Structure 1
């Protein structure tokens, strides 16, 4: 007590006070480091969201039996799915088709090869499982032509599959990190209905020209390239246009429905595993990555703000409110079929259900389970094709004389 009193009288700071000040300073420095680290992570995540994705391996090829024509992969929620799929590989084959699950255990799954692989084949272990099934337009075995569609960023490659009398078209819009090959699965179903298919590319997808920033706008700008494709279809004789969007292509299709200069010829939307509200998707993805909520909020804030563009190099903020179509449901005017799996695993189906509740007069929702993201055709081709076919006919969108 006397020592403390003497220290105070002499102007010195008592030892306990000094210790507390040191602890507070250290804690402040630690918190600053934590905040800085979280900020860096948030900005990195924000940048990844808008950076065009490249295909990454998501399974390993454990065994290739060229005599039995089978392939054994590591088991994942995708590789064990029933149905027909594709496998991106490296080596003597770049892409192979795979079919029936022949056997599986807790760690592996063996499937039938649908692409013949020769005995001299050499494939690297790293592979990527794909729902595309078809990788090239000639694999569909229907007449097609390569096209170039002029847009604000330059000529965008497309594939046209003519059908019927050429007055009804479907414009197919692929998703994030994919190309127009993703939509080849849908061509036979529309061809049988007498509907011409136009599979398009858009800025920054690796096939169409690059924008100034080279980043995705999550549908906020990409829709303009698809609008140019609808103009192309009109010049080729289209009187009615259905827009079908896959995953992020669904977000693009919805922006077309709200903003297109050709809304008068759009007669309906078909959305496969669509993004309807990006905030829901980003929150879900952050949860899968086990990111803290503050990191996720800061990443979304960075993407949606002017200050964040300096770090994301996006060129302009992402207009999340404009891309939230549930909140804008009252502006919709076109009938819509949504196909979505409640076990999507990438884009949760919550917003698809919300859109149905908001606009039951326009929206029909075909709910799958187990099928995962954009793999509904692969999982149950008959049901998928039947849902689209019946919806098209029910709304009178099939050209006269199409197969019944």
Structure 2
């Protein structure tokens, strides 16, 4: 799950950022520089939107819930999210409630509403909910995904990190394990969409929390590294896997999790143990993503450039709160394509509204020797599994069996 980090709807936050910057500049700012100060204030606001973790807003209106508990139907406004077929989640009551939503039952183009099946309510009272957060994170726990799990603790440079270990019930487990890395604004539950596929293949898996996510935040001091820092926690997960019986690992990454996976594979202590990568709507080039978001939010070019400078230059640390500037060039894998040295499965829908597909297409073209990229459309951002779980699972299984796994005889 990925939450948009450029949002034009918070006027109060923008005004607060402007006041904060004006105070930081001191009383010497003359009236003639007011426009420049205003522009800088907006840049501060958007730069902080990029790096400051926030909970996903509940912006989907729940119009009506009808039927009995085992045959409930939910009525929602028809939006670009709610009219896409497949299976999804609806989080409500500030995330304390969760329902699994199924396919479309009825669509009314006149009222612009849609009715969908409610497959399960895992927590909370959906009938009392009025607003929710629509998500592709379908399972909230291993028990809902129907797989065995153990709670484990990983140790990174920032301390202890919670994680799930998913053993396999296969008679002969693979010696290649999977590390499942969720996206920006998400939790380790995002990786549970791959759990059944990996279990069927006999591949054990670790789903770690990492710094700055909802489970490992340092209060208001947390700042996303966009992959430039979080990879250290994945390095700890790889170490745990190797100490627990794995010979090699394959890294799965959704959205920003893809950026994290690539950094762990190229900068970690165990680069020689990385067998491959499975990347779903990955951020391969942050410059491309940020440029897209700037255009969506209609930011003037000078402000967009200032936003970029604020997250990459030391002088802006007092405004962004970053411990160190982010090295976005180091996370540009279109430019670094020649450095790839393991097989990669790239899953990316053509209509991704958040992470543009073009860098993925470029990487698949220039590294056709290593990159497998099936075509997906109408799945938007990281929802390929939700739209067609059977196809997603087949693509992942075929890739792992043909490129990664060492099948045991007998």
TM-score norm. by structure 2 comes to: 0.87
- Please say which structure displays the higher CA radius of gyration: 1
1:247 aligns with 2:248: no
Are the equivalent residues in 1 in contact too, given 2:62–2:129 (CA < 8 A)? Answer: yes
Q: CA deviation at 1:117?
A: 9.1
Q: CA deviation at 1:363?
A: 1.2
Question: Residues 122-271 of structure 1: matches in 2 within 5 Å?
Answer: 122-163=127-168, 164=170, 165=173, 167-208=175-216, 210=218, 213-271=221-279
Structure 1: give runs of 5+ residues left out of the alignment: 1-28
Q: How many residues align?
A: 375
Deviations 1:25-56 (A, max 9, x none): xxxx8873222211110111001101112111
Are the equivalent residues in 2 in contact too, given 1:146–1:159 (CA < 8 A)? Answer: yes
Partner of 1:335: 343
Deviation beyond 6 Å, 4+ runs, structure 1: none
Structure 2: give runs of 5+ residues left out of the alignment: 1-29
Partner of 2:54: 53
Shift of the 270–148 alpha-carbon distance from structure 1 to 2, 3 Å rule, reads same
Deviations 1:226-282 (A, max 9, x none): 001000000100012000001000000011121121111110000011100111111
Greater CA drift, 128-137 or 206-215? 206-215
* Rounded Cα–Cα distance in structure 1 between residues aligned with 2:404 and 2:144: 30
1:395 aligns with 2:403: yes
Are the equivalent residues in 1 in contact too, given 2:87–2:386 (CA < 8 A)? Answer: yes
Q: CA deviation at 1:58?
A: 2.8
Partner of 1:89: 92
Alignment equivalent of 1:102, drawn from 85, 100, 105 = 105
Partner of 2:38: 37
Could you say what the CA RMSD is over the residues aligned between the two structures, in angstroms? 2.3
* Rounded Cα–Cα distance in structure 1 between residues aligned with 2:54 and 2:379: 23
Are the equivalent residues in 2 in contact too, given 1:203–1:211 (CA < 8 A)? Answer: no
* Rounded Cα–Cα distance in structure 1 between residues aligned with 2:388 and 2:278: 17
Shift of the 292–212 alpha-carbon distance from structure 1 to 2, 3 Å rule, reads closer
Partner of 1:78: 81
Are the equivalent residues in 1 in contact too, given 2:99–2:126 (CA < 8 A)? Answer: no
* Rounded Cα–Cα distance in structure 1 between residues aligned with 2:398 and 2:95: 42
SS state of the match for residue 367, structure 1? coil
Q: CA deviation at 1:396?
A: 4.2
SS state of the match for residue 387, structure 1? helix
Are the equivalent residues in 2 in contact too, given 1:91–1:122 (CA < 8 A)? Answer: no
* Rounded Cα–Cα distance in structure 2 between residues aligned with 1:299 and 1:309: 12
* Rounded Cα–Cα distance in structure 2 between residues aligned with 1:401 and 1:191: 19
* Rounded Cα–Cα distance in structure 2 between residues aligned with 1:173 and 1:116: 26
